Amino acid sequence: MNQPTEPLPVIQTPFCGHLRSKKFFLSDQIAAAAEDYLDASGHCWCYHTQQVVGPDGQIVMPERCVPGRSCYRSALDKIRKPKSE
């Protein structure tokens, strides 16, 4: 009766779930455009590294923090603890 099921695939959001900016904290929805992140300063950072550089060593920007980047995580994906190396 109760057979194990495979988890459903996570929907890919336009931007990484780790992308942060001042404007991010004022929104009550998932950003759909770069303008939803960037204010006049244009400053954003990675929640994971707390810097303007992501875990892959590349700069953090809405245009770059998208599906396909090695450190991308959908904003709808549950947060997982990083694997210890």
pLDDT tens column, 48-83: 999 999 999 999 999 999 999 999 999 988 765 555
What is the number of domains present in the chain?
A: 1
Question: What rounded mean pLDDT belongs to the chain?
Answer: 87
pLDDT at 1: 56
Contacts of 1 (CB under 8 A, 6+ apart): none
- Whether residue 44 lies inside any domain: the answer is yes
Amino acid at 49: T
- Whether residue 6 lies inside any domain: the answer is no
Residue 57 lies in domain: 11-69
Lowest mean per-residue pLDDT among 2-6, 29-33, 75-79 = 2-6
- Whether residue 4 lies inside any domain: the answer is no
Amino acid at 5: T
pLDDT at 54: 97
pLDDT at 30: 85
- Whether residue 35 lies inside any domain: the answer is yes
